[in-house]
Structure 1
Amino acid sequence: MTINYGGWAGKILWVNLTTNEIWTESTENYLDYLGGSGIGYKILWDHHVDGQLGTDPENVIVYSVGPLTGSGAICSGRMTVTSRSPAVPGHLITDGHIGGHIGPELKYAGYDALAVVGAASEPVWISIADDKVSIESASGIWGKGIFDSLAAITKAMGAASQCFAIGQAGENLVPMSGFMCPGGHAAGGHGAVMGSKNLKGVGILGTGTCKINATRDEMRDLDDHILGIIGSNNNNVVPSTPQSWTEYYSSGSRWKARDEITWGAADEPVELGEVAWDERNRIGYRCSMAEMYVGVEYTNKWLKRMGGCHACPIRCYCELKVPELKSRFNFKTEYYTNTCGGFIWGNYLMPTTSGTEEYALTATVGGYLRDDYGIFSGYGLTHHMFKDMKKADLFKNLLSAEEYADVPWELWDNNEPEFLVDLYPRIAFPDNYAHENILGRMMGDPATYIDVLKLDGTNPAIDNWNIYAESGVHLFNRSMKHALHHASECAGQVGSLINVIFNRDPMCHSHINIVNAGLPHDLIAEICAEQFGEGAFDPVKAYTPINEAKVKFAKWCIVKNMLHDSLTICNWVFPLVTSPDVNKNYRGDTTIEAQMYSLITGDEVTEAELDTMAERTVQLHRAFTALEMNSTNLRTDHDVLSDWVYDINPDLAFGDAGTIKMDRDDMQTALTMFYEAWGWDSETGIPTRATLESFGLGYAADKLESKGLLPG
C-alpha cells in the first residue's frame, strides 16, 4: 500500500541469514510508532520468544530511521539499533543510536528499517544498493578491525556509499561490544548480536531521495528559526569564556571558540576567535571542544577540523592529527576522530593528569584502540570499575598468579598509555590467553562477572569489597548494572528517575540540554517553572525533596528522548528549551520537533500530539521489560539504585549543600509519583490495562495478562 505521508521510504527490508531470504514489508504497520526506536520496539515485540538470548539465531536486530531522517531537517542524521542486548542482565531489549551519514543513506536506498534475523554459516556482510540487496562473503575481513573493515566495504560499494561494521570484540561475542561507521560514529551494546549472526557489517548505497511535503521556502523559514536559537553540543547557549558579545558564560560549556583556540593541524591553521550567537555561517566553529579531551596545548597542535553528522550545523566531532599514533604506537594512521566518550574513557581508567602529554595520548590512543576493536564501555562503567578496583588493590586476589604476573601493571603506575595497548586485546580476544583472562572477561562482561567474582560485598578474599557501595565506579542502576548517565550528579531526582526506566544507561540528554545550558541558575529555574511548574529545577548539589514539577520534568525528558530517537534527530542538541538570544529572553522553542514533523510528513500535529505518539513507545518498552523479566513488580526487580547513591558523603545529609546524595524514602516517594504520572500501577511500576489501551497497546495488555503480569 502506498504511504501518502512525506518523510517515509515506505518499506522495511528483511534479511534472513540462515535461509538467505530477502524480502520487504510495508512501513504502514509501524506509522503509529513514529520510526527509529518505535519501529525497533514493535518489531521485537512482534517476534518475542520467552527466554530468547541476544545471541540466539532467531533474535532480530533492527536498524531503523524515522520520517525526519535524510529530510534535511537540522540534526536529523541518526539511526537507531534495537535488539536484545548481551551487555545487560537477562539480555533484555535495548536501543542504541549512531550518527554520521548511515541513517540518511538507508532512507535514500528506499528503506525505513533493516531487520536481520538468523545466522549465516560463514562470515558475511549485507550489500544494499537501492533495490539490489545481496549477502556477500566477509571471509576476507573477518578478524580485521573496524577501520580496515569499513575501508574494504567502502571499496566494494563505492566511495559514495556508507557502511558500518563490528570489530574483533563483536566477532568474539564480547557482550560489551558495538559497531561503527566512518568518522567515529558508534552504537554500543549489540556487537555480539551481529557477531553471533556472523554478520560483519552492512554497506549501503542509496540514489533515491527523501520526499517531503513542505515547500523549499517553508523549510528555509524553519531552518532560519532554528539557527536563531540553537546553541552548541548539549545545547550550551553561552560560551565557555567571557566574550564581548555575551552577557553570560560558563566554564563547562562546549561552546569553546575563542582567541586561544586554533585548528593547528589544518592544512592552513584556523584561528577561531569569538563566534557570536548570531553568526549563523560560523556555527560550525563554536564546538571546537577538543580541549576537553586533550587540553588546549594539544588541541592547538593536533586539531585538524571539526566534523559531524548529516544535516547538523554543530560539528561536535574532533578530527585530530596525532603523529605519535604512528611514530610511537605504530598504528596505521596518525588520524583519529570521535567525540565525548570516544576520548574520555581511557583517562577514566588511567591515573593521568589533565593537560599533560600522557593525558592527551591516553585519550587518543585509547579511543583509537577501542574503536578499532569495537569495544563498548557502558558509558565508562568498565573503566571506572577497573580504576577503582586497581586503587583498592583487588586484582592480586581476583586473578591467578599467572595472570597477575602477565599484566604490565608498571605501565599503569607510570601513566603510560601503552598499558591500554596491552589491556584492550584482553577484552576483544578473551580466549587468546593461556590463563583464564579474568581481567579481560570482566571488562567485556561486567554484568556477569560482578556476580561471578562476588563483587557485591560477599567475597572475603577481597575484604567483602562492594561495587554497589563504591561511588567511584558510577554503577547507578543496581538491577540493570548500568552506569550513572546524567543522574543524581547533575539533576537530583529528575536524573535519577530517568536512570531507572531503560535497561542500559539511558543516553538521555533532554535534561542536560537545560541543566548545562550555561545560563544562571535563577534564569534556568524560571524557564523550568514555566515549562514544568515551580520547584522543577534545583541547583546542582543542593537538592530539595521530590515534588510534582520534578516528576513532570523527568517524564517530559524521557518522552522527548524517545521522540528524538524515533524521528530521528539528535538528543545531544534538542530539545531547544533555551537559546543564546537575549532578545528572546533566552527562551527557546519546544514545538520545533512538531513543526519539523508537520512540514515534512504533511501530517499536522501539535507538540502534545507528537509527544503522545512518542510516549506510546515508552509504554511499550515498559510492558516489554516486564514481559522479558517475567516480573510482577518492576519497582523491586528493575528500578533499584546502588547503595552509594544514598550513602555517599556520610557526613552530609540529603539536601545539604555540596552532596549529590539521594534519600531512600524520598526516592521511593518519587517512584510512586513517577509511576502514577505514567499511568502505571503505583506499587509495581507496571502499566495498567487502561493505560496500555489508551495508547493503542491492548495487545501488550493481553500478553501481560496471559502471563499473569498485568496489575490487578
Structure 2
Amino acid sequence: MTTTYGGWAGYVLRVNLTTKVITKETTETYHDYIGGMGIGYKVLWDNHVDGIKATDEENRLVISAGPLSGSGAICSARTTITSRNPVIRNHLITDGHFGGHFSPELKFAGYDAIIVEGKSDTPVWLKIVDDTVTLEPAESLWGVGIFDTFAAVSKMMGQQAQVAAIGPAGENLVAQSTIQTQGGHSAGGHGSVLGSKRLKAIGIIGTGTVDIAESTTNEQLRALDDHILGIIGANNNGVVPNQPQSWAEYSSSGSRWRGGPGVKWGAADTPVELEETPWDDRQKVGMRSSMAEMYFGRDEANKIFKRPGGCHSCPIRCFCEIKNPKMKTEYKLPTENITNVCLGFLDPWYSMGKPSSGEKRTDIQTVGAYYMDYNGIWSAYGQLSHVMREFTARDFWKIILPAEEYAAINWAQYADQDAHFMQDYYTRIAHGASYNGSNIFGRMLGQGLHNFINDDGELYNIEDILNEVESPRMAGLTFALESDEGYEFYGETYSVFLDSHVKVFNRSMVGGVHHASESAGQVGALLNTVFNRDPQCHSHINLINCGLPWAKIAEVAESMWGPGAFDPVKHYTEMNTSKAKFAKWCLVKNVLHDSLTLCNWMFPLLVSPDVNRDYIGDSSIESQMFSLVTGIETSEAELDAKAETVLQLHRALTVLQMNEPNQREKHDVLSEWVYDLDHDMNFGDEGTIKMDRDDIQIGLDMFYAEMGWDKDTGVPTRATLEKFKLGYVADKLESLALLPA
C-alpha cells in the first residue's frame, strides 16, 4: 500500500500496447475523485487529445474500481469502463459498467485501475497475477466467442481467474459492442475500443486483500451490515412485494420484489418453492428478487429458472440463471444454460416484435441472449432492438437493402417468431463489413443509430453506408408511416426524432428512452440531457418504483427536495425548483455510486420495507461505508460534494471534446416526439408522458441554476469549477473560449 487509508489498493496500472511498457503509479493522485468513474474522467481529462475517434490509437480506455470494491461492503462490486464511445455522436466520452467479481479481484491484485493506451501490432491479452503483469499472445483467441475466451483464459491461468473480454463484434470494430466478464455481466459501447487496440482479454488473479482503516473495528462493520440488511429491499430497491403477502401492509405490481407464493425455482437440482419472503427474514433476502418471472412470465419462469446469481458481496442476487434444454437439443448450442438480466434477455424479445409469454418467447430470449453475449453485442438499452422491430414492422428493410441481401435473410423465421433467426441476426451485426455480401443490414444496426441519420434524424442516402462515405450528409430517404398500423403520422419524410416507437429521447446523443419522462416526468427528462449516453441512473427509480403508495413517496420526496418534487407516473405537474433539486441529487448519487463503485440498481436506500421505521430508509449509508472502509470521517454532504466534482468534470470534458460552448442548444435537446405524442392529450393530463417545450426550457433554467451552470449555455461557470477545486479545468476552457463570460 502507498497510502495510510483503507479501501484503495494503492496503485494504477498503465499499459502501453504500442511500446509494451507496463508501469505503476500511485492511486493517491485520484483520491479527490473517489475512484471508479472519477479516476476514468480525470485520466481522460489529463490525456485529452482533440479530434480523435474512439478507435484511434491515441484514445485511452480506463477500467477502474472504487474504494468500496473488494472491502466486503454490500453491493460494491461494480467496475467502471471509461473511454470515447463510437455509439455516440462525435464519439464523446462515456462510462460503462459491469458487475460480477472483476473489480474485487483487481483490488485483491493490488490495483484500483488499469489505463490502456496505444495499439498492439498483434492480438494480445493482459495477464495479471498480483505484481506479475504481462502481455500474452492472443492470436489463438482472436475470432473466438466470449464464452470460449473466458474458458481459454481460465484454463491458462486457473479457474479462480476473473476475466474480461471482447467478442467478434469488438474485434470487427462494431460500435454496438461490449466488454464482458463471466456470468453475463456486460459494459456497453467500448468493445471496439479494445478491438482497435487488439487487446482481446484481461485475466486477473489477486491473492491479497483490501485493507480496512486501522481505526475501524469488525464490530462497526458488522453493525453497518446489519443496519443495511434491515432496510434494503429487492432489485431496484422494491420495498413491498409484487403480490400480496400476509406480512405486508402494501403490495405493488410494479415492484421487483418478485419472490413469493407461487414462485418456483423449477430447474434447480432440487426445485425450490419460495413461499412468502418476509422483510425481516434475513435468510430469504436472496429470494426477494426472483426476476425470471419479469422476463419470461410466471409459468415459463417456474419451469426454467435454476437459481438467482449476482455480484461479489451482494445479497440481492438479481441475475437469472436459466436452464432451457432446447438450447442444446433444438438450437444446437453447446449449453442449455444461460445467465443474464434485463436487456440481455429483453433485447432479443424486443427485436422479434415482443411475442407473448410462452415457449417461443423463452427460446427467443435464451437463444438470443447466448448469441448476443457470445458475439459481444450491446443493445444500447433497447435502441438496437427498437430500430430492428420498427423497421421490420414497416417493411423499411425491403426498401433499404439490396434485393439480393434482403432475400438472403430468413424473414419467414422472423414472422414465425422462430428463435433460429437469432443466430444469423446477431452474427450479421457482429461481423459488420466482414460478413458475406453487402450486409447493410448488420452494418446499419451495428454501427449505432447516429451513423446513419442526419441532424434531423432522417436516414442518409444508403450509398453513403455502402461506400463508407462519412460526408457529406446527404438527403434522407423518404418513407411514409403506416397510420393504420397504429404509428404516428408526421408526413412523408421519416425521422427517428419524430417517432415515439423507435424511442430516441435525446437528439444529440441519439439514445433511447430509459428512466426518462416515462418514469419521472421532468426529473427523468433532465437526467437524460447531461450524460453522453443513457445515464443508467436508478437513483430516482429506486424511489418511484419502490412500490409504496404515491402519497408516501411524495412525503419522502418533499422531505428531501421540497414541495412538488414528486409526481405520480403519467400525471405530471409544471416544473418547479424542487424537481430541479431532485434531478441534481439523482445525478450526484449516480456518479457517487459509479465512483465508489457501488450498485446504483440498489442504492440509494431512501425507503425501506420496515414498517417500524415508517418505511424510511437511510440516504447516508454510502458515507458511513466510505468512512469505515477508508478511515476518512466523511459526512453525506461532503461525500456528495466529491461526487459532484466528478459530475462537473464530466460536463467540462463534454464541452472540451465537442469544442462547443452552447451545450443548451447542441447537447441538451430532446426529440420532438417527446412533446408531440398523444395528440388528443395535453401535457399534465393524467395518462400521458408527453412534455411541454416551454416547461422543459424552464426546467433547464432551474436545473442549470442548481448545478451552477451558465443559464444561456449550460456550461459550468468559473465560480462553480473553482468551488470544486477544478480551477485547472476553468483555465483550460477559458483558454479555448469555451468558458462562460
* Alignment TM class, shorter chain as reference: over 0.9
* 2:207 alignment counterpart: 207
- The answer as to whether partners of 1:455 and 1:464 remain within 8 angstroms in 2 is no
* Corresponding residue to 1:542 among 558, 571, 576: 571
Aligned match of 2:452 in 449, 453, 457? 449
Task: Name 2:642's counterpart in structure 1.
Answer: 613
Deviations 1:628-665 (A, max 9, x none): 00101001110011111000101100001110000000
Between stretches 216-225 and 254-263, larger displacement belongs to 254-263
Q: Distance in 2 between matches of 1:479 and 1:679?
A: 22
Runs of 4 or more above 4 Å deviation: none
What whole-Å deviation, never above 9, does each CA across 1:117-171 have from its counterpart, x for those lacking one? Answer: 0111111100000000000011111101000001111111111111110000000
The answer to whether 1:353 aligns with 2:355 is: yes
Residue-by-residue CA offset, 1:216-253 (whole Å, 9 max, x unaligned): 10000000000000000100001100000000011121
SS of the residue corresponding to residue 225 of structure 2 reads helix
Instruction: For residue 405 of structure 1, report the CA deviation from its aligned partner.
Output: 1.1
SS at match of 2:6: coil
- Aligned 1:388-399 pairs, distance under 5 A: 388-399=390-401
Q: Distance in 1 between matches of 2:503 and 2:270?
A: 42
Deviations, residues 592-639 of structure 1 (Å, cap 9, x unaligned)? 000000001010011000000000000000000000001010011100
CA displacement at 1:435 relative to structure 2: 3.2
Residue 504 of structure 2 corresponds to residue 475 of structure 1: yes
**Residues 593 and 607, structure 1, Cα contact 8 Å, conserved in 2:** yes
2 CA distance for matches of 1:701 and 1:487?
A: 31
TM-score (norm 1): 0.99
C-alpha deviations, 1:479-510, integer Å up to 9, x for none? Answer: 11111110000100000000110001111000
SS of structure 2 residue aligned to 1:421: helix
Structure 2: distance between partners of 1:544 and 1:418:
47
Q: CA deviation at 1:418?
A: 1.6
Structure-2 residue corresponding to 1:532: 561
Report the equivalent of 2:495: 466
**1:121 partner amino acid:** D
How big is each residue's C-alpha offset from its partner over 1:332-354, in whole Å with a ceiling of 9 and x where there is no partner? 11000011111111111112433
Conserved 8 A contact 2:458-2:496: no
Q: Mind listing any 5+ residue stretches in structure 2 that lack a counterpart? A: 461-474, 481-491
- The 3-state SS of whatever aligns with 1:422 is helix
- Alignment root-mean-square deviation, CA: 1.2
Q: 1:87 is matched with which residue?
A: 87
2:590 aligned with 1:561: yes
**Structure 2 residue aligned with 1:6:** 6
Q: Indicate conservation of the 8 Å contact 2:141/2:149, yes or no.
A: yes
How far apart, in 2, do the equivalents of 1:355 and 1:55 lie? Answer: 40
In structure 2, distance between residues paired with 1:378 and 1:158: 33
AA partner of residue 458 (structure 2) = K
Number of aligned residue pairs: give it.
712
SS state at 1:710 partner: coil
Q: 2:2 and 2:661 mapped to 1: Cα distance?
A: 41
Match of 2:313 in 1: 311
Q: Residues 235 and 318 of structure 2 are in contact (CA less than 8 Å); yes or no, is this contact kept in structure 1? A: yes
Q: Which amino acid aligns with 1:437?
A: N
Other-structure match for 1:165:
165
Alpha-carbon distance in 2 for matches of 1:481, 1:202: 31
Which secondary structure does the structure 1 equivalent of 2:222 belong to?
Answer: helix
Residue 14 of structure 1 aligns to a residue in which SS? strand
> Using a 3 Å threshold, how does the CA distance of structure 1 residues 134 and 233 change in structure 2: closer, same or farther?
same
Shift of 1:454: 3.4
1:460 offset after TM fit, Å?
Answer: 2.3
User: Take 1:169 and 1:451, find their aligned partners in 2: how far apart are those partners?
Assistant: 25
Which region of structure 1 is more displaced relative to structure 2, 215-224 or 409-418? 409-418
**Distance in 2 of aligned mates of 1:73 and 1:519:** 27
1:385-435 deviations in whole A, cap 9, x for unaligned? 111111122112111111111111111111112222221111001124443
- Which among 279, 283, 286 is matched to residue 285 of structure 2? 283
For the residue of structure 1 that corresponds to 2:725, the secondary structure is coil
2: CA distance, partners of 1:433 / 1:536: 51
C-alpha contact (below 8 Å) 1:352/1:358 kept by paired residues: no
- Corresponding residue for residue 108 of structure 2: 108
Give structure 1 stretches of 5+ with no counterpart: none
8 Å Cα contact 2:123/2:199 also seen in 1: yes
The reply on whether 1:625 has 2:629 as its aligned counterpart is no
Would the aligned equivalents of 2:289 and 2:317 in 1 still touch at CA under 8 Å? yes
Find the aligned partners of 1:448 and 1:512 in 2 and give their Cα distance.
Answer: 31
Cα distance, 1:202 vs structure 2: 0.1
Deviation at 1:459, TM superposition (A): 2.3
Query: Do 2:165 and 2:181's aligned partners in 1 also have CA atoms closer than 8 Å?
Result: yes
Matches of 2:434 and 2:593 in 1, distance apart? 41
Contact 1:295 / 1:360 at 8 angstroms: preserved in 2? no
> How far apart are the structure 1 equivalents of 2:436 and 2:542?
48
Contact 1:283 1:314 in 2 (8 A): yes
Report the Cα distance in structure 2 between the residues aligned to 1:140 and 1:451, rounded to whole angstroms.
40
| 1:461 positional shift | 5.3
Separation in structure 2 between the aligned mates of residue 353 and residue 438 of structure 1, nearest angstrom: 26
Distance 2:479 2:291 in 1: 44
* 2:287 partner letter: Y
Q: Which amino acid aligns with 1:170?
A: G
1:451 partner amino acid: N
Q: 2:62 is paired with a residue of what secondary structure?
A: strand
What letter matches 1:602 in structure 2?
A: G
Determine the C-alpha separation between the residues in 2 that align with 1:442 and 1:515: 36
Q: Tell me the equivalent position of 2:472.
A: none
Normalization by structure 2: what TM-score? Answer: 0.95
What is the aligned partner in structure 1 of residue 237 from structure 2?
235
Q: How many angstroms apart in 1 are the aligned matches of 2:362 and 2:353?
A: 13
Query: Matched residues in 2 for 1:52 and 1:604: separation?
Result: 41
- Aligned counterparts, 1:280-429, within 5 A: 280-429=282-431
Query: How far, CA to CA, are the matches of 1:461 and 1:527 in structure 2?
Result: 48
CA distance in 2, matches of 1:458, 1:332: 43
| Higher alpha-carbon deviation: 457-466 or 621-630 | 457-466
Identity %: 57
